[in-house]
Structure formats: structure tokens, C-alpha cells
Homo-oligomer: A and B are copies of this chain.
């Protein structure tokens, strides 16, 4: 039997990296003979590195293509083709575990597909360990708690469900961490923009979507206090415009999110601008809008924009 790769989306966040490591562990427990390896479609962010180092876990190696090493893949934390590995159409997808919308996904044969509208893929995996009576090792529990903290902004994002709360509490106990204290440290670690250029920052956590006939890019930068980043607005807008032109994005949105205030500022380039304003209930002036309370790309931006651009 050939090897199976498990990986999350491009520009991986903590849930994408954690879910791959955790799913590979669970699969290995359920099928001891299978050759399963967690890999990544990009380097871990400063937040993810903080979590990996805290729990003594090695970052998965970064791959460019699944083949020739693997003929089969398991997708976690994504399902849309354009967010996946470059040669996704040449391998067999055997399983998917995800908490996003389903789009641009097609198989020729039946497969395992489990999507649940929860705050974090690691919450679904937490349920799967329980259903299969597999114990969760302490280090992986810490990594899973980190993913939930990251995706739900310490259980304060509107994406947070009762399952996420129960999972976070249970996992923190197994990992021996104080959820609030460790969570605040983790989120702060993720706001380290170092001396990164605007181009590097808008690429770090960005996803592409096909909405109607428009390709839409939605990037997000987490920070504490949006002032310093907003002062670089023109630099961001220029970088977004250049990238949109090069990659063919009709719209490019950047959410600058204060992870402690749970609020965002929005930068936008491209058209149709009215659709963005209407979909998100904001007013864009010179490429900028306040977006109070909007922190979830998945729940508060993508569905609304998809609806608005459906007939486009």
C-alpha cells in the first residue's frame, strides 16, 4: 500500500497544522499497518511555532506536491481544490475532516467526508477520538487546545459552539494548561509581525475563493492594537493591488483583527465594492472600513460575499 499524506490548507494556520498531526495520529491508531504521514503546505506561523515548541512537537515537513511520495491523501481543515496541494487532481482523496463550506470539491468515488459547522477542525477530531475510544496523548491535547484557541480567539469568536467550549476545557485539562493564560500568550505570539513587509503579511494567512465569476482573496492579520498596522495602510493597499493584478483576483480583502478586542478593520481593493459594502454592512472610504465585531472570515465574510456575488 502506498503512503497517505495528511495535510491542511495552504498558508497554514494553527488548526491546519494541528489537525494534520492529530488526524495522522488517530488514523495510525485505527490502522496500525497504514503508512500515514502528516505534512504541511507551508511553514508554520509564529503562533503555530509557539504551540509546537510549548508541547515539544516537531513541525511537519513542507511539501510542494503529494506525488510521487503519496498516491492517497487525507484533507483536513479545507476541501476547496484551490486551497489544497498543487497536484490534488492526480491523487485519490480518501478522507476529509473539515469545518468550512463545501465548494470546488468533487470525487469520482464515494469517500469518508466529515464536515461539521464547529469553530475548529480539532473539535471534530476531539469527537472522533471519543467515538473511536482512542485516548488523546497530553502533547496532542495541548496542540488541539491551541488550534481551538486560535480559531475561536479564545472562545470569543461568533464561530464558537458548545462543542468547542467542551473540547477546549477537556483538552486543557489533559494538557495541564490554564486555558486563559496559555491562550492569551498564544494569541499574542501570533500577532508578532516582526519586520515583515506588507506583501509578506498579506500572504501569511490568505485564502482564495471562487464566487460567481469572481476570484476573491481574503487575508487576515491578527494583532493586538490595530494602530501600527493601520498606519501602513497605503503600503498594504499597494501590495494588495499588485498581487490582485498578478494573480487575477477580482477582489482582495484584508481583515486586520484585534484578537483581544475581537474587532477588525477592513482593507479592500477591486470590484464590485458595493457588493462588499452590502454583504458586510460596512462603508469603504479610500480602501478602508471599520468592521466592528467581524473576526471570522468563514462565518462573517465568505458566506455573505458568496451570496452577494452569486449572480456576478
Interface residues, chain A, with chain B CB atoms under 8 Å away: 99-117, 131, 298-299, 302-303, 306-307, 310
- From residue A29, how far is it (CB to closest CB) to chain B in Å? 18
- From residue A224, how far is it (CB to closest CB) to chain B in Å? 27
A112 to B110, CA, bound (A): 17
Q: Is the CB of B106 within 8 A of A117?
A: no
Which residues of B sit under 8 angstroms from A114, Cβ to Cβ?
113-115
Of chain B, the residue at the smallest CB distance from A210 is: B106
A107 to B307, CA, bound (A): 10
Which residues of B sit under 8 angstroms from A107, Cβ to Cβ?
101-103
Given contacts A102-B105, A105-B102, A131-B131, contact A113 B110 (CB under 8 A): no
Which residues of B sit under 8 angstroms from A307, Cβ to Cβ?
108
Which residues of B sit under 8 angstroms from A111, Cβ to Cβ?
101-102, 115, 117
Given contacts A113-B114, A114-B113, A114-B114, contact A303 B102 (CB under 8 A): no
Of chain B, the residue at the smallest CB distance from A111 is: B117
Q: Is the CB of B106 within 8 A of A110?
A: no
Q: Is the CB of B112 within 8 A of A116?
A: yes
Q: Is the CB of B105 within 8 A of A110?
A: no
